[in-house]
Amino acid sequence: MSGTSSGNGLLHLNDVEAGLSKDNADLDHHLDPDAGASDPFDIAHTKNASPETLKRWRQAALVLNASRRFRYTLDLKKEEEKEQRKRMIRAHAQVIRAALLFKLAGENQIVSGAPVASPSAGDDYKIGLEQLASMTRDHKLSALEQYGGVKGLSGLLRTNLEKGIDEDEADLLNRRNAFGSNTYPRKKGRSFWMFLWEAWQDLTLIILIIAAAVSLGLGIKTEGLKEGWYDGGSIFFAVFLVILVTATSDYRQSLQFQNLNEEKRNIQLEVVRGGRTVKVSIYDLVVGDLVPLKIGDQVPADGVLIAGHSLAIDESSMTGESKIVHKNQNDPFLMSGCKVADGFGTMLVTGVGINTEWGLLMASISEDTGEETPLQVRLNGVATFIGIVGLSVAVSVLAILLARYFTGNTEDPNGATQFIKGRTKFDDAFNDVVKIFTIAVTIVVVAVPEGLPLAVTLTLAYSMRKMMADKALVRRLSACETMGSATTICSDKTGTLTLNEMTVVEAFVGKKKINPPAESSQLHLSVVSLLSEGVAQSTTGNVFVSKDGDDVEISGSPTEKAILSWAIELGMKFDAIRSESTILHVFPFNSEKKRGGVALRRSDAEVHIHWKGAAEIVLAACSGYLDSNGCLQSMNEDKEFFEAAIDEMAANCLRCIALAYRLCEQEKVPSNEESFDDWVLPEDNLVLLAIVGIKDPCRQGVKDAVKICTDAGVKVRMVTGDNIQTAQAIALECGILSSAQDVTEPTIIEGRVFRALTEKEREQVARKIMVMGRSSPNDKLLLVQALRKGGDVVAVTGDGTNDAPALHEADIGLSMGIQGTEVAKESSDIVILDDNFASVVKVVRWGRSVYANIQKFIQFQLTVNVAALVINVVAAISTGDVPLNSVQVLPFLVINEIWCFS
């Protein structure tokens, strides 16, 4: 962090990295709400702290070597420059886009029938890189129409809009050569020699080098070459060793941070190739790929929308404005780096890598990995206090030794007075003063623990590497440390405590329990037809059937895959059913309402509204049901039967999903496409088709992991959107609830009950909650806030887009690496790569090891410091000499550096 840090002064009052003047400190007090604290190192909210908060403790820090103490913390000046560069690029892009739109408005449109610009990439594709980049970057809808719309553009790119491109290595290589790869140039890391150059630019080391040079010259002059080089040569060797170890340590940590950042950027996403949905690295994406998009995804490249429903994009990362933009055929252009806020769709990739605005933005900035951690801030306070004491002692010793020397109270080894006024030669006096000064400098070196805050960061960096091996990717360095202080973990159920390998094990159609659940012979054909229609059209998943018809591949979320598999066993022909009806409007699954719906027009012109979601919620909207014979029955008398069936399945740890539909009158269907965006799908008077129970077994080892947490004083709470009975059964199985006697409110509570409480009541109830069922993301956020106000250090796991506020609010946010959305990962501090709760426990263990390691280092450092200071001060005052000279004291500095390095 030497770019803005200074190592050439004891205290630079106008340097942000070293400390500011009092006037600037007063200004920061008004900008930062935390600045009123009496202790500048006592920061109340360390996570997501403002730059003003970060500056505050630096202003109070006595820094002998700012570049050393702050070289692994956030470079505030570079952060400000990075934000300015982002704003400049965004403004530049907006100006160009506005100018082009103004020009097109004046021309009205490009003349129809004008020849398409000749491709610049060769004869393989009928459109060139420049034409594609210009059309997408500048949102030229008229140019897209000139190419024949999305269908015509796909023909120019040789892409099948249903099956995508083929997984042919030659074709993929050809596309990369023609349109570029989805990578962007990154600034090279600094070489080892750069770290070596920076390591010696240390005020303390420079003073020691000068002292060593003077001592070497004087020693050789007075004692001869054979014995005179001992003191000076020893100091030189110690300084060289410190520089070498410091540079090597910095270089290793730099490489480690680069590797971790590369891992964070390597997003795995789904693309359609050869009719199949496959997972590829974001770096392997090429122009012409088809990419399905759903809530929480990051748009991986520039492209145009092929088809979508209620697709809303958060473009704040590119435009800087917190505005959700709805995408449709009138505005089909998608920018890479943006997030999907709602709905779903499929995009055709038209620009990748450096040919996108996001690529240009990323190539122009460097990602800083440094940041302040709570322990580091507190230890800076300790280091500052000890440094002041050490400097005071060193100055006192220097004054005492000089006073005793010039007053004739010191003797040489032969017993003769060292300094006699008027008799002692200048050279001899100068030599003795240099030795005294060297002793004072070495006291400062040992007394001032500049390596104390640095040791925290190096320990955290080591823990990051070890946690990576334990399937935990650390996005925020301070999370390693904070996790060791966690007192409660609010965990998801699905995929974290359970395997997320779902299968339908029970099914009710009407009042009849189908056994086995996919036995279609027990159902009337009309019921099977409606079920197949609802499942096929209300899913974001996909079914790929090989040409021979033997292999069936199902993609989508685990819940979607379970229901699709069940419907296929019932006899659903996925592609055939989807072709028989047209989707009019989609209400995407909503975690607040716990259901999703789709309106479709069949070939016979009838409009069906299909709903799918949490069983008891969908059931409440049903006025009738179809029995297994296809006859419509009234729900009035049989509602209690279905409620009991749901409770029984939930008690057996099953997730209950209901499927229902209703006919929609033609006059209620919007007549034009623009009206569909505002159309609210009817959700009353539904006809229940089926209730299915999905089994998701507990992960092996979860019960032991929960017990380890409980024994260690960390309380595990389950927060899930599932039925309260399902949550209760899983909690008992995992050991979160010890016995059935614990199943009383508020130990187990529903989200709607918790959110209805007042803020004060929530704080009182929160500490007692062990299981929260049917919770919305907002309920999870309220729980986190209540627990934090009660003094808990809260860790939260989440995987959905709507979990982002809770992940951001918690002291430690843990997102899921497999099922987690990109929005959730961006808001989290740690990504659990295997979605396993046992990995969360390992993170806690590593967090606590950080404290143990730092405790040992402080014990070692302070023991050496205090012993050396006391011995030299007492000896200097009593005898006028110090028993620990520079050669004896400097090994402490070397040992300190080697400890940090190892």
Q: Quick one: pLDDT at residue 1?
A: 35
pLDDT band at residue 330, thresholds of 50, 70 and 90?
confident
* Long-range contacts of residues 154-161, Cβ cutoff 8 Å, at least 24 apart: 154/288, 154/306, 154/348, 155/126, 156/116, 156/125, 156/126, 156/127, 157/125, 157/127, 157/287, 157/288, 157/348, 157/350, 158/125, 158/288, 159/288, 159/289, 159/290, 159/348, 161/290, 161/306, 161/348
Q: Where are the domains of the chain?
A: 371-471+847-901, 472-499+699-835, 503-695
pTM for the predicted model, two decimal places: 0.76
Q: What is the pLDDT of residue 9?
A: 31
Most trustworthy range by pLDDT among 166-180, 365-379, 435-449: 166-180
Looking at 75, 342, 492, 811, which residue is catalytic?
A: 492
Residue 5 confidence (pLDDT): 33
Structure confidence at residue 30 (pLDDT)? 36
Averaged pLDDT, 733-759: 87
Question: Average of pLDDT values for 666-681?
Answer: 80
Secondary structure element (H or E) that encloses residue 608, with its range = strand 607-614
User: What integer pLDDT is reported at residue 758 of this predicted model?
Assistant: 93
| Mean pLDDT, residues 499-512 | 92
Ranked by mean pLDDT, the top range of 227-231, 453-457, 464-468, 637-641 is 637-641
396 or 751, which is more confident?
A: 751
Predicted pLDDT of residue 782: 94
pLDDT in tens, 336-384: 888 888 888 999 999 998 888 777 666 655 554 455 666 766 776 777 7
Report, as an integer, the average pLDDT of 546-556: 77
* pLDDT above 90: percentage of residues in the chain: 28
Q: What pLDDT, on a 0 to 100 scale, did the predictor assign at position 406?
A: 85
More confident residue, 527 or 80: 527
Q: Report the number of secondary-structure helices (H) and strands (E) in the chain.
A: 33, 26
The answer to whether 196 touches 187, Cβ cutoff 8 Å, is no
C-alpha separations of 185 from 93, 253, 364 in Å: 20, 22, 9
pLDDT of 315 strictly over 90: no
Mean pLDDT of the 229-255 span: 78
Q: What is the pLDDT of residue 532?
A: 94
Beta-strand (E) ranges in 436-580? 472-474, 488-491, 503-509, 512-514, 542-545, 552-555
**CA dist., res. 638 & res. 98, Å (int):** 61
799 is catalytic: no
Q: What percent of the chain has pLDDT over 70?
A: 78
Residue 114 pLDDT grade (very low, low, confident, very high; cuts 50, 70, 90): very low
**591-617 confidence digits (pLDDT tens):** 778 899 999 999 888 999 999 999 999
Q: Specify the pLDDT at position 44.
A: 55
Residue 335 has pLDDT above 50, yes or no: yes
Q: Are 445 and 861 in contact (CB under 8 A)?
A: no
844-870: average pLDDT: 81
Residue 27, pLDDT above cutoff 50: no
Q: Which comes out higher in pLDDT, residue 694 or 386?
A: 694
563-591 pLDDT, tens digit per residue, is: 999 999 999 999 899 989 988 888 888 77
Give residue 240's pLDDT band: very low, low, confident or very high (50, 70, 90).
confident
Q: Cα 891 to the chain's mean position, in Å?
A: 41
Residue 598, pLDDT score: 93
pLDDT for the residue numbered 616: 92
Q: Which long-range contacts (CB under 8 A, 24 or more apart) does 700-707 make?
A: 701/838, 702/497, 702/734, 702/735, 702/837, 702/838, 703/733, 703/734, 703/735, 704/838, 705/837, 705/838, 705/840, 705/841, 706/734, 706/735, 706/736, 706/837, 707/735
6 pLDDT band, cuts 50/70/90, is: very low
Tens-digit pLDDT profile for residues 798-837: 887 778 889 988 989 999 988 888 888 888 889 998 889 9
Token digits of residue 451: 């390596």
Is a pLDDT exceeding 60 seen at residue 69? no
Mean pLDDT value of segment 655-672 = 90
- Say what the pLDDT of residue 20 is: 33
Three-state DSSP at 100 gives helix
The DSSP result for 643-673, as a single string, is HHHHHHHHHTTEEEEEEEEEEE-GGGS-SSH
Query: Could you tell me the pLDDT band of residue 54, with boundaries at 50, 70 and 90?
Result: low
Handedness of CA 829, 835, 837, 843 (dihedral sign): negative
Give the pairing of strands 302-314 and 324-326.
antiparallel
Q: What integer pLDDT is reported at residue 446 of this predicted model?
A: 67
Q: Does pLDDT of 641 surpass 80?
A: yes
Per the CB < 8 A criterion, the answer to whether 375 and 850 are in contact is yes
Q: What's the mean per-residue pLDDT of the chain? A: 80
How sure is the predictor about 411, in pLDDT bands with cuts at 50, 70 and 90?
confident
Return the pLDDT at 802: 76
Lowest mean per-residue pLDDT among 48-52, 100-104, 315-319, 751-755: 100-104
> According to the per-residue pLDDT averaged within each range, which of 20-34, 54-68, 81-95, 735-749 is highest?
735-749
Which CATH architecture is the domain 472-499+699-835 placed in? 3-Layer(aba) Sandwich (3.40)
User: What's the average model confidence in pLDDT over 463-483?
Assistant: 84
The pLDDT of residue 60: 58
Question: What's residue 14's pLDDT?
Answer: 32
pLDDT in tens, 676-706: 777 889 989 999 999 999 999 998 889 999 9
How would residue 246 be classed by pLDDT, with cut points 50, 70 and 90?
confident
Torsion sign over Cα 832, 835, 837, 838: negative
pLDDT of residue 789 exceeding 80: yes
Give the alpha-carbon dihedral of 88, 91, 95, 101, to 10 degrees. 140
pLDDT tier for residue 718 given thresholds of 50, 70 and 90: very high
Q: How confident is the model at residue 620 (pLDDT cuts 50, 70, 90)?
A: very high
Evaluate if residue 13 carries a pLDDT over 50: no
Which pLDDT score is estimated for 695? 93
pLDDT at 568: 93
How much is the pLDDT for 419?
77
* CATH architecture of structural domain 503-695: 3-Layer(aba) Sandwich (3.40)
